[in-house]
Amino acid sequence: MKQVQQNYRSGELKVAEAPAPRAGDGEVLVATRVSLISSGTERQLMQLAKSSLLGKAAARPDLVRRVVANVRKEGVRPTLEKVFAKLDTPIPLGYSLVGEIIAMGRDVTGHSLGDRVACAGAGLANHAEFNAVPKNLVVPTPAGVDDEDASFVTLGAIALQGVRLAAPTLGECVVVLGLGLIGLLTVQVLKANGCVVIGFDPNPQRATLAKSLGADVAVSDDLASVVAARTGGHGADAVIITASSKSNEPVNNAAEISRLKGRIVVVGLVGLNIEREPFYRRELELRLSMSYGPGRGDPAYELAGRDYPLPYVRWTEQRNMAAFLSLIEQGRVTPKAYVSHRFPIEAAEKAYELMESGEPHLAILLTYPDHASRVAPVATPSAPRAAKSGLGVAFIGLGNYARAMLLPKVRATEGVSLTAVVTKTGISASHSRDKFGFAIAATDPEAAIGDAATDAVFVATRHNTHAALAARALRAGKHVFCEKPLAIAADELQDVIAAAKAGPVILAVGFNRRFAPLLVQAKAALEPRSGPLMMIYRINAGVVPAESWIQTDEGGGRILGEVCHFIDSLTYLCGSLPVAAHAVSAGGRSDSIVATLQFADGSTGAIVYSAMGDPSLPKEHLEAFANGKVIRLDDFSKLTIHSGGKARMVRGRQDKGQTQLLAAFLTAARGTAEAPIPLAELEAVTAATLAVEEALRSP
């Protein structure tokens, strides 16, 4: 399919071929008919992409702070690898469209195949021939609303939410500052609400257009005099700022034209360094609009499809979208009147060139051929495939960790050929194919699992999909390297273990710490051993935001996602399987626990996993006691061995064993070695992790 994409690092914008997405759970697959280019928002994004790294940093200080925090936690090199990998990945443009449903995932109700729908969402409702959109960002398009009008649904919801925050009443005087697309829509929504509307834009043509669309007054200068004349000197009841400017003037000018106890709503991206005196003197209320409405930015609402109950949240972003389409149907809002240019998707680059040229424009639409009756392509090859050579390796999922840690090591291994890459979005898959040399880019895992040239599959997707994908690949006769955790439920674990036992295939899990050179030395230092070990593992885990996918059903939580690493390390160190597990949490926190483990040989292990500490403390510290010996491992960079009344220290560069684990797996996949980790240990470690999670849930 064709899709508009931009490289965030270089600024290059193009229409590229990419595999179409699939409709996941709670999603619909839409064949796009018309999408809207929001010239203001998208032009800002284009300019940011073309700016230098310093310019990008200045524009997003919040992201800079996150990078700095990550440097403290993981070090400079790993952080920079993640940053540049992210910058190099193209981003899709667009966030407002209308199209036809051609496929639906599970848990979608209220829609049918063939329905015409309007869709919203940056990174979801893209300028692309096909889009997979979560159900809460999709609304039916009334029969009386044509495609071009419906394509404005996102901007309409933004305008409507700004008006709702202004809370205008019949007959109030409201000023709209900035008469771009959202400003013009705001003018018409306010008129539909029975308000007196004064529009302002420094561009006289925009002011004239606003007047023709229903504004009572629209000017390009001397706004204060106009407001004073229309309000008898009292000032505006409300001011809605839809302008885009780094300046603080819009918000401070809004204060000067407001009445006592007036309301100011900021919808556009403007400076917010306010002058205290006019706000204080008039006791003004300043509100910031959250884009489309309640639900915006909440993964549980937008991605997981959990709606807010109507009696408590009357106007969500989806209900705002539907209300806007209703206003169009009633003839109260006429978005099509704003359209200045139309381009077919094949010529989208010309549309963006026009935006940069200075030629007058307003709303620009992209149109698409009729794809509703066609099957969306979920895989695209780079070129005619050459004869297979060596071990064929495919990746299902290629996020930050897989891209920065796994793929470079696989590519550097002699005798390995990259066969297929499968990601959720076609733009990521096609970029990875072209950048790293995969033969096939796809959005359907079957493109890798069913590929005859693929011998081994890396599963590096979200945690809740690991077991099912690994089991499918194993049953298809593929060797599997599955990122941890192997499973997040007991039935999943049973299924994937059964699949591994059913055929002559290798299953490996990303338990890399047992391959770390200093942990291998620590185990050797405790030998020979005649009795059990007593082990203590302390992890200063740091905080993961509650909204992170790791904390959702996709991730299964931090215990299943990370504590499995430490259970595996203790299992390796004592050389015995865990047979019992118990756990308690600190104050009910799921990210701060103490787990105790019992092993078949009598060894015990205590894991203190805490998100309550300070990042200045190194992350991991492990101690083990046996036969008058003690080993201390500090963050995989320093090992101290206490024996015979003496202490011996071994230092090294931090190495957590990723390279060694991957080498062992690839060697085993060629049939020249045993599996890197015995299947019984993979099963027991995962079962023990599930037992820890269950213990935390038990009263």
pTM of the predicted protein model: 0.86
Output 600 or 59, whichever has higher pLDDT: 600
Q: What is the mean pLDDT of the chain?
A: 91
CA distance readout (Å), 512 to 112, 517, 681: 46, 11, 14
Type of residue found at 214: G
Note the residue count of the chain.
699
Structure tokens at 553: 């059903």
**Of 467, 402, 515, nearest to 687 (Cα)?**
467
**Of 114, 127, 119, nearest to 16 (Cα)?**
127
- Give the pLDDT band (50/70/90) at residue 179: very high
pLDDT in tens, 196-214: 999 999 999 999 999 999 9
The pLDDT assigned to 59 comes to 58
pLDDT in tens, 619-646: 999 999 998 999 999 999 999 999 999 9
Q: Is 52 exposed, middle or buried (0-12, 13-18, 19+ CB in 10 A)?
A: exposed
Task: Collect contacts of 286-291 with beta carbons under 8 A, ≥24 apart.
Answer: 286/251, 287/165, 287/166, 287/263, 289/158, 289/161, 289/162, 289/165, 289/265, 290/161, 291/158, 291/161, 291/317
CA distance readout (Å), 26 to 130, 298, 505: 16, 15, 34
Q: Are residues 604 and 616 in contact, defined by beta-carbon separation less than 8 angstroms?
A: no
- Of the chain, the end-to-end C-alpha distance in Å amounts to 52
The pLDDT assigned to 379 comes to 76
Q: What average pLDDT does range 491-509 have in this prediction?
A: 96
The pLDDT assigned to 47 comes to 62
Tell me the C-alpha distance between 286 and 268, whole Å.
13
Provide the strand spans (E) within 216-338: 217-219, 236-241, 258-266, 285-288
Tell me the C-alpha distance between 324 and 333, whole Å.
8
Type of residue found at 129: E
Tell me the C-alpha distance between 159 and 157, whole Å.
5
Torsions phi, psi for 269 (to 5 deg): -90, 100
Q: Name which of 41-50, 654-663, 684-693 the model is least confident about.
A: 41-50
Tell me the C-alpha distance between 590 and 694, whole Å.
11
- Give the pLDDT band (50/70/90) at residue 56: low
Print the SS3 string covering 487-534: CCCHHHHHHHHHHHHHCCCCEEECCHHHHCHHHHHHHHHCCCCCCCCE
Q: Are residues 120 and 321 in contact, defined by beta-carbon separation less than 8 angstroms?
A: yes
The pLDDT assigned to 656 comes to 95
> What is the enclosing helix (H) or strand (E) of 446?
helix 446-449
CB atoms near residue 255 (< 10 Å): 22
**Of 345, 317, 3, nearest to 134 (Cα)?**
317
CA angle (628 as vertex; 624, 630 as ends), nearest 5: 30
Q: Name which of 9-13, 139-143, 558-562 the model is least confident about.
A: 9-13
Q: Which domains does the chain have, with CATH numbers?
A: 2-151+334-367 (3.90.180.10), 157-288 (3.40.50.720), 379-510 (3.40.50.720), 513-655+675-697 (3.30.360.10)
Tell me the C-alpha distance between 538 and 619, whole Å.
8
- Give the pLDDT band (50/70/90) at residue 406: very high
Torsions phi, psi for 188 (to 5 deg): -70, -35
Three-state secondary structure call for residue 230? helix
pLDDT for 84 beyond 70: no
The pLDDT assigned to 36 comes to 97
CA distance readout (Å), 210 to 155, 181, 186, 270: 16, 10, 10, 21
The pLDDT assigned to 49 comes to 61
Q: Which residues of 345-382 are buried (b: 16+ CB within 10 A; e: fewer)?
A: beebeebbebbeeeeeebbbbbbbeebbeeebbbbbee
pLDDT in tens, 15-52: 999 999 999 999 999 999 999 998 767 766 666 666 66
- Give the pLDDT band (50/70/90) at residue 372: low
With tokens 């995962």, the residue in question is: 686
Beta strand 13-17 with 27-37 is: unpaired
Looking at the chain, the whole-number percentage of residues with pLDDT higher than 70 is: 91
With a CB cutoff of 8 Å and minimum separation 6, the contacts of 81 are 404
pLDDT in tens, 410-421: 999 999 999 999
Torsions phi, psi for 139 (to 5 deg): -135, 145
pLDDT in tens, 671-688: 888 999 999 999 999 999
Structure tokens at 603: 């060894």
CA distance readout (Å), 647 to 326, 632, 644, 650: 77, 10, 8, 10
The pLDDT assigned to 553 comes to 86
Does the CA dihedral 30-32-34-40 come out positive or negative? positive
The pLDDT assigned to 639 comes to 97
Q: Name which of 8-12, 269-273, 316-320, 545-549 the model is least confident about.
A: 8-12
Q: What average pLDDT does range 179-188 have in this prediction?
A: 96
